[in-house]
Amino acid sequence: MIIGINNKIPTNNFSPAWLPSDESQGLLAWYRNKVGITLESGTTDVNQWYDSSGNSYHMLQNDTGEQPSYDVDSGGLIFDPSSDTQNLQLQLSGTDTHIELDGPFVIGIKMNPDAVSVVVIGSNTQSNELIKINTGTDIKIENASDSEIYRLDAGNTKDDTYWVIARDDYDRCALYKGGVEATGGEVPAVTGTFSINAIGVRATDNNPFDGSIYEIIFFNIHSDELIANVHNRLSGL
């Protein structure tokens, strides 16, 4: 079920103490606020953000020129592309090089963007943008075969807030900012597979992110209850 346009995510069925790891299935990756972050020796620059889901989808950056910095008080990773393309990339062995989202999903992210035309989550080897801040009012969700633009009814894409992106079993997608759904067609569909291996960049260092990211959660399942729980957790960060 997709919640109607301009409606808020229902909050009457969430668990106040809920954590993503409480789900018995479906948690794919969890880049947790203030957890699993390691710094380059003697600096505040991030070289690793461990996946707290237990699935080992760890994000790393060994190039010291491309490491985001860390704000210990907020737990935010600060990406500043003015000096270099700053990003974190998935490091997996063998042929498994991406987080693949080919069916239903629920993704949550808490962030504070400072610019538009930047990619928040994408692939640095493919033309995949799970979420791109397109303009001050538009968010773009795109993979190699399909895309959709979501236009905010109020506020700005650069606001310091939390977002939920969801796709159900029928490829219908919804995007929420601060718990309020953005428009993009009554039941907009984005088909195809999202291949994700980077935070803060797409396709060989294109459109680098500018701003702060506090937490990202990936689920490969979909339900209204899960959306409400992700919403509630991120609203409390």
pLDDT, tens digit only, all 237 positions of the chain: 333 333 444 444 445 689 999 999 999 999 999 999 999 999 999 999 999 999 999 999 999 999 999 999 999 999 999 989 999 999 876 667 899 999 999 999 999 999 999 999 999 999 899 999 999 999 999 999 999 999 998 899 999 999 999 999 999 999 999 999 987 655 688 999 999 999 999 999 999 999 999 999 999 999 999 999 999 999 999
CB 69 within 8 A of CB 45: yes
Residue 44: both structure tokens together: 């505040």
Q: Which residue has the tokens 């400072």?
A: 114
Task: Read off the pTM.
Answer: 0.92
Q: Which amino acid is at 214?
A: Y
- Is 139 within a domain? yes
Instruction: Say if 14 falls within a structural domain.
Output: no
Question: Comparing C-alpha atoms, which of 100, 103, 86 is closest to residue 169?
Answer: 103
Question: What is the domain extent for residue 72?
Answer: 26-92+99-235
DSSP 4-37: PTTPBPP-TT--TT--GGGSSS-EEEEE-TTSSE
Residue at 167 is within a domain: yes
Query: What is the per-residue pLDDT across 10-45, written as a single tens digit (0 to 9) for each?
Result: 444 445 689 999 999 999 999 999 999 999 999 999
CATH of residue 188's domain is 2.60.120.200
**Cβ–Cβ under 8 Å, residues 217 and 111:** no
Look at residues 201, 159, 207 and name the one whose alpha carbon lies nearest to residue 179.
Answer: 159
